[in-house]
């Protein structure tokens, strides 16, 4: 993650060096060499992905490309807040490191999983959640809802969803039941960390996961980030806010292009690009000449 930009841009190398100092963690080595079993630990992957996101943002700024508005999916919300000027780098990295550590601890105490349910009507999905005792983690797009909860209830929910007509059910390769009540321990501990951080007024519109509304004042940030740990990610609704307010050009900034694919399921009429390496940066710059 971020290796090409690290090798080509001194500003990105400075970012990784500063992150390593703040986190007391060799972020570059973790991102570039892993090993994978260490990288994917929640306590490691959250700061690593965040720094990789910021590397892409840094390169875009070097090309004088700045966001007009921002949003981020779950962990990505922290990068969006940074892009909007709401949080500074030291507090940002402090937040994502402790968020990851507390989520990992909560998952070890209350193990579970998540599943993607494709093309199931809302009322049937509500019945699945009620009868199987699971929760909605992510409302990604009309065809894809992510359920979360303890391992056996998730499997029961997948089986029931299939019987009720879901087109496809996929158990996700995750290490915990994110965005569920199983994260209450993480939420309780994270609240004190959030309370130690400074939040500023957003310089651009930044839409929050928890309510799909723009952040109006810096004092609202802490509560939204804390509640996000156990609450649903309202991604479809967040993207619909942008569409309803006239935004037509979207760029996924950071590793992979999952959100680019989701946006195409929400609205195929808007332009959606992604920037994660030299090739995608080149394609983005050419598309915007």
Active site residues: 74, 179
Helix (H, G, I), strand (E, B) or coil at 32: helix
- By CB atoms closer than 10 A (0-12, 13-18, 19+), residue 269 is exposed
CA distance 266 to 235: 10
CA distance 116 to 70: 25
Do the Cβ atoms of 148 and 177 come closer than 8 Å?
yes
The DSSP-derived string for 126-156 is HHHHHHHT-EEEEEEETTEEEEEE-HHHHHH
CA distance 134 to 157: 7
Handedness of CA 276, 278, 284, 289 (dihedral sign): positive
Q: Which residue carries 């070097």 as its tokens?
A: 62
Measure Cα distances from 72 to 23, 38, 82, 206, 251 in Å: 22, 24, 11, 9, 11
CB within 8 A of 50, min separation 6: which ones? Answer: 75, 78, 79, 92, 93, 96
Q: What angle do CA 73, 242, 190 make, to 5 degrees?
A: 30
CA distance 253 to 273: 9
Do the Cβ atoms of 249 and 239 come closer than 8 Å?
no
What are the structure tokens assigned to 253, written together? 């900034």
């Amino acid at each position: 993650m971020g290796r090409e930009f690290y090798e080509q841009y001194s500003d990105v190398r400075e970012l990784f060096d500063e992150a390593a100092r703040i986190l007391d963690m060799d972020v570059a080595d973790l991102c570039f060499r892993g090993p994978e079993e260490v990288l994917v630990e929640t306590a490691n992957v959250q700061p690593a992905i965040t720094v990789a996101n910021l590397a892409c943002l840094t390169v875009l700024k070097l090309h004088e490309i700045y966001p007009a508005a921002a949003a981020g999916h779950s962990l990505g919300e922290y990068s969006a807040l940074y892009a909007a000027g709401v949080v500074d780098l030291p507090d940002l990295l402090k937040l994502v490191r402790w968020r990851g550590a507390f989520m990992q601890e909560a998952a070890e105490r209350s193990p579970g999983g998540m599943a993607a349910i494709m093309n199931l009507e809302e009322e049937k999905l509500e019945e699945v959640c009620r009868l199987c005792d699971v929760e909605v983690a992510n409302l990604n797009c009309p065809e894809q809802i992510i359920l979360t909860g303890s391992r056996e209830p998730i499997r029961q929910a997948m089986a029931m969803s299939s019987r009720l007509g879901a087109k496809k059910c996929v158990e996700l390769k995750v290490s915990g039941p994110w965005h569920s009540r199983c994260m209450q321990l993480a939420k309780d501990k994270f609240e004190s960390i959030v309370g130690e951080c400074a939040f500023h007024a957003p310089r651009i519109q930044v839409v929050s996961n928890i309510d799909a509304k723009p952040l109006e004042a810096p004092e609202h940030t802490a509560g939204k980030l804390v509640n996000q740990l156990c609450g649903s990610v309202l991604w479809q609704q967040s993207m619909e806010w942008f569409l309803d307010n006239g935004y037509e050009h979207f760029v996924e900034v950071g590793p992979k292009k999952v959100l680019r694919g989701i946006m195409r399921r929400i609205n195929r009429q808007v332009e959606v690009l992604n920037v994660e390496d030299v090739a995608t940066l080149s394609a983005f710059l050419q598309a915007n000449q």
